[in-house]
């Protein structure tokens, strides 16, 4: 029986019991008259009493005729005097009642004990649930949240931007709908399907959509919920989960964050966990005995497939891996179409432009973006959400909240203005660089005193040596502007330096883009200690490590020199742009044409 139904039954029983108590009280209140003993004697003399019952401490009786108030029964306190003669004298029928005190005595002991036991069980259960134990009789029970077929309303129409993954999972839906005809040629459905992809790309949503499309029971549980402090509990929960799924077939078992349960065994000899290994072994055993012909499918999701145990990924267990990657521009537009149905959108809003500005956003990021845009429009009392609200929401998601309360001195504001204009002008005068969308000196986030937002024109999956060198030059543009204008540098470029150093090291040690070091990789496998990454281990000699460091430094210095050369050539634009930025605090390419891409400016000059 469902837990909610059990609670409702208890509520109904309690209400019925209270109704009986109220009814008995109301009847006694309306029909029974409480009288003193002297009045009782007077009623006897007046022959108004028909019969009585003598109890240990009271006398209860019935009048021959109801009193003026309509009450026909009475009760009075018993007084120890001879009554029999009086009763016979006045023709009153009477009897003695032996009043048992067993029930009263029993209840006087049982009710307090039951009350104390109930309170004790309530608090113990609450503590056990917080500790993840759930009681001694349920310690091996699965914590899977079971969604029956009426509870799954998600379908493939609610999932956008991952068309390839949906096509892969469509055959799972077809099999669950009709397992017999699907295997008419001897094919079998994969036992397990692993959804792999970055966080927020919709892996859990896809699993729920499969259950909604197939209209089957959905068992959902996180991998971390199997592992407890008691050895053997996780294995028992795995057995219980699969047993529940077999009884409810056709069904889908979905294990989220599989890496919490299926981490490779023996990867760290210092840190061992027998409970995790027993739980993983039990999962492998269940997969070996898993019969897909019953209409039960195992889905799992992870964003770290590289750390999973190889025994999980072999053929016959998780037979298929489905990539759920970040959406491209077309996918982002489709995701935006799904989420904007919930808000009031202005008719002239160009969602293609929003999709273009959100390169690298996941499905969850886009959902947050739409919600932020709606909140901004509401805060400004707008009639509908338009493109300006989306643009501001992107800035809020990427750069953080505006910190207008952070007051900078005139010298600091001037430094930030030239720094950001340096980034913008270097980006505008290099071929193949994402165009500048906005430049601002309004502090945002935790430490950003300003920012330069670039708008990608297309999704990039391959980057050449020139592309990376141009990105490094743009990053060094801020420090180069400070050096040119103030003849000194500040700490404002700390984040730029970190990013440009990472790019240079990746070019040298990972991508083989340095001519002197050759076409090889110098980054070794990642090592870990007590679960903490120690970074990349360079399996190289000290001499080669020195050459790598020199190559990285050479590339960073070359990017700085390139940025400085561009800004010296466009010094007038640098001064004018910084001055305008100090006045307006925010600039776009429409406000200051010098930050438009060089290709667009060449086209305008050629047309003139």
* DSSP H helix total and E strand total for the chain: 20, 16
Rg of the chain over all Cα atoms, to the nearest angstrom: 40
Q: Which among 249, 71, 217, 234 has a CA at the least distance from the CA of 150?
A: 217
Instruction: Round to whole Å and give the CA distance between 399 and 453.
Output: 9
Angle formed at CA 448 by CA 443 and CA 450, multiple of 5 degrees: 55
DSSP 444: B
Pairing state of beta strands 251-256 and 217-222? parallel
What backbone phi and psi angles, to 5 degrees, belong to 75? Answer: -145, 140
| Active-site annotation holder among 225, 372, 420, 469 | 420
Question: What is the distance of C-alpha 539 from the center of its chain?
Answer: 40
* CA–centroid distance for 556 within its chain: 40
76 touches 40 (CB < 8 A): yes
> Distance between CA atoms of 549 and 455, rounded to whole angstroms?
32
Sign of CA dihedral 567, 570, 575, 579: negative
Residue 74 near residue 40 (C-beta atoms within 8 A) = yes
Q: Which two tokens stand for residue 328?
A: 């491209």
Within 10 angstroms of residue 512's Cβ, the number of other Cβ atoms is 14
Let me know: does 354 contact 336? Beta carbons within 8 Å: yes
Q: What is the DSSP letter of 305?
A: G
Residue 275's Cβ-count burial label (10 Å; 0-12, 13-18, 19+) is middle
Q: How far apart are the first and last CA of the chain?
A: 81
| Nearest C-alpha neighbor of 193 from the set 160, 224, 169 | 169
Examine the residue annotation and report whether 547 is marked as an active-site residue of this protein: no
Half-sphere exposure of 371 (CA within 13 A, CB side): 7
Sign of the alpha-carbon dihedral angle for 596, 601, 607, 608: positive
Give, in order, the Cα–Cα distances in Å from 439 to each of 406, 419, 443, 545. 18, 10, 12, 39
Maximal C-alpha separation, the chain: 135
Annotated catalytic residues are: 420
């Amino acid at each position: 029986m469902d837990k909610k139904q059990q609670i409702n039954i208890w509520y109904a029983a309690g209400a019925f019991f209270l109704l009986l108590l109220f009814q008995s009280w109301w009847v006694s209140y309306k029909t029974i008259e409480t009288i003193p003993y002297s009045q009782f004697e007077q009623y006897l003399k007046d022959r108004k009493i028909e019969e009585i019952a003598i109890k240990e401490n009271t006398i209860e009786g019935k009048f021959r005729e109801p009193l003026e108030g309509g009450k026909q029964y009475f009760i009075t306190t018993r007084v120890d005097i001879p009554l029999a003669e009086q009763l016979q004298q006045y023709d009153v029928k009477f009897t003695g009642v032996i009043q048992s005190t067993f029930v009263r005595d029993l209840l006087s002991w049982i009710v307090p004990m039951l009350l104390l036991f109930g309170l004790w069980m309530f608090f113990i259960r609450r503590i056990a649930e917080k500790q993840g134990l759930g009681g001694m009789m349920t310690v091996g029970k699965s914590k899977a949240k079971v969604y029956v077929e009426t509870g799954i309303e998600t379908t493939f129409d609610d999932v956008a931007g991952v068309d390839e993954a949906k096509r892969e999972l469509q055959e799972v839906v077809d099999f669950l709908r009709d397992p017999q005809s699907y295997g008419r040629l001897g094919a079998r459905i994969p036992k397990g399907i692993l959804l792999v992809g970055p966080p927020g790309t919709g892996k859990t949503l896809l699993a729920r959509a499969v259950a909604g499309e197939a209209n089957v029971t959905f068992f959902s549980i996180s991998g971390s919920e199997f592992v407890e402090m008691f050895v053997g509990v996780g294995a028992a929960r795995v057995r219980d989960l699969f047993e529940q799924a077999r009884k409810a077939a056709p069904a889908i078992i979905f294990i989220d964050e599989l890496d919490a349960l299926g981490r490779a065994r023996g990867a760290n000899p210092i840190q061992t966990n027998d409970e995790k290994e027993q739980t993983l072994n039990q999962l492998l055993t269940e997969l070996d005995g898993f019969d897909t012909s019953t209409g039960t499918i195992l889905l799992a999701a992870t964003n770290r497939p590289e750390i999973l145990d190889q025994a999980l990924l072999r053929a016959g267990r998780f037979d298929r891996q489905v990539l759920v990657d970040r959406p491209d521009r077309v996918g982002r537009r489709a995701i935006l179409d799904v989420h904007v149905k919930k808000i009031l959108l202005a008719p002239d809003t160009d969602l293609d432009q929003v999709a273009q500005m959100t390169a690298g956003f996941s499905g969850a990021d886009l959902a947050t973006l739409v919600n932020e845009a709606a909140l901004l429009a509401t805060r400004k009392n707008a009639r509908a959400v338009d493109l300006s609200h989306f643009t501001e929401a992107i800035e809020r998601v990427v750069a953080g909240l505006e910190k207008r309360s952070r007051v900078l001195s005139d010298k600091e504001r001037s430094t930030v203005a030239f720094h950001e204009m340096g980034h913008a002008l270097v980006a505008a005068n290099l071929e193949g660089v994402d165009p500048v969308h906005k430049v601002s000196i309004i502090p945002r986030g935790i430490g950003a005193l300003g920012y330069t937002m670039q708008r990608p024109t297309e999704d990039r999956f391959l980057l050449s040596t020139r592309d990376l060198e141009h990105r490094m030059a743009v990053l060094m543009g801020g420090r180069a502007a400070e050096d040119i204008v103030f003849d000194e540098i500040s700490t404002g470029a700390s984040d730029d330096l970190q990013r440009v150093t990472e790019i240079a090291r990746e070019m040298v040690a990972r991508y083989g883009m340095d001519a002197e070091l050759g076409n090889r990789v110098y980054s070794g496998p990642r090592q870990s200690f007590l679960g903490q990454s120690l970074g990349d281990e360079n399996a190289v000699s000290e001499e080669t490590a020195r050459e790598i460091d020199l190559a990285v430094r050479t590339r960073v210095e070359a990017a700085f020199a390139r940025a400085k050369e561009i800004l010296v050539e466009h010094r007038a634009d640098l001064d004018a742009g910084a001055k305008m930025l100090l006045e307006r605090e925010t600039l776009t390419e429409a406000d200051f044409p010098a930050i438009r891409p060089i290709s667009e400016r060449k086209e305008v000059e050629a047309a003139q």
